[in-house]
Amino acid sequence: MPPAGAPMIEISGLSTVFELPGRRLTVHENLDFSVQRGEVVSLVGGSGTGKTVLLRQILGLERPTAGDVRLLGQPVAELGERGASARIGMLFQHGALFSAFSVLENIAFPLRELRTLPRSLVREAAMVKLQMVGLRPEDGAKMPADLSGGMIKRVALARALIMDPPLLLLDEPTAGLDPDSSDGFVTLLRSLHRELALTVVMVTHDLDTLFELSTRIAVLADRRVIVDGPPREVIAFQHPFVHDFFLGQRGQRAMELLREYPFAV
């Protein structure tokens, strides 16, 4: 494991171009972005600015048209699926649980697929993760259809952590949750970040989640990261998207949150 402050993700000169019928869509152009160990970095940007595509490129699920993506110093393209999954846990927006599998089977799935550990150990590891995300042992036998939205997120998080990855990617972690479940999930993420010394990159539109968790915010606009830094610094950046996102209708809330979370300097 690299020391605190060492680069976990290094992206340089990244361009993404999609060839569509009759036109080219340039999503990213010469984009640079890096994440150091221990940070919680939030990616924000308007619809279609390429946040999800960037997460998929970090995961190695998509290749950029040009540029370099490195994880812990190694090019993602060279890691292969197994290498990437040992380094990155991904929480998809809708949980993406297998409906025919129980909670425990869902959590165990990535480890079971490796076929390197006996069943009993896989089960035990899944049970540890189940409790780590605040669920009870008896929840392990439940089926996804019987879970609340907050529980689905917790199960998906336990599954993302099953391989003990140092890096966690979260796509809209609190979208669709009621305010209480959302607060509970943010508190859980904050304590796991601390206890497991995780590095976290998340995409979120939710200002509460953003201010409660982020040590840094990166803004995607004009096909690149136009500004990144501590929340207070990013809010002051002169750009129409930044202005609308933080200081438009929701600005009052952003200012309240800055007062509430003085660490967001």
Ligand X SMILES: Nc1ncnc2c1ncn2[C@@H]1O[C@H](COP(=O)(O)OP(=O)(O)OP(=O)(O)O)[C@@H](O)[C@H]1O
Contact positions toward ligand X, by CB under 6 A? 18, 25, 27, 45, 47-53
Nearer CB in complex with ligand X: 16/102? 16
Q: Which is nearer to ligand X, 61 or 128 (CB)?
A: 61
**How many CB atoms neighbour CB 166 within 10 A?**
19
Residue carrying the six token digits 């995961």? 59
Spatial contact of 229 and 217, defined as CB atoms under 8 Å apart: yes
Nearest approach, Cβ of residue 87 and ligand X (Å): 21
What is the C-alpha to C-alpha distance for residues 120 and 147, in angstroms, rounded to an integer? Answer: 25
- Residue closer to ligand X (CB basis): 112 or 223: 223
Nearer to ligand X by Cβ, of 64 and 144: the residue is 64
Give the tokens for residue 159. Answer: 């599954």
C-beta of residue 37 within 8 angstroms of C-beta of residue 196: no
Nearer to ligand X, 24 or 115 (CB): 24
User: Smallest distance, Å, CB 225 to ligand X?
Assistant: 12
Q: Which segments of the chain does DSSP mark as H helices, in order?
A: 51-59, 76-87, 103-114, 119-132, 149-160, 179-195, 207-213, 231-235, 240-247, 251-260
Structure tokens at 188: 């859980």
Neighbouring CB atoms inside 10 A of 176's CB total: 14
Between 63 and 232, name the residue whose CB sits nearer to ligand X. Answer: 63
**Given its phi and psi angles, is residue 82 left (phi above 0), alpha (psi -120 to 50 degrees) or beta?**
alpha
Shortest Cβ distance from residue 19 to ligand X (Å)? 8
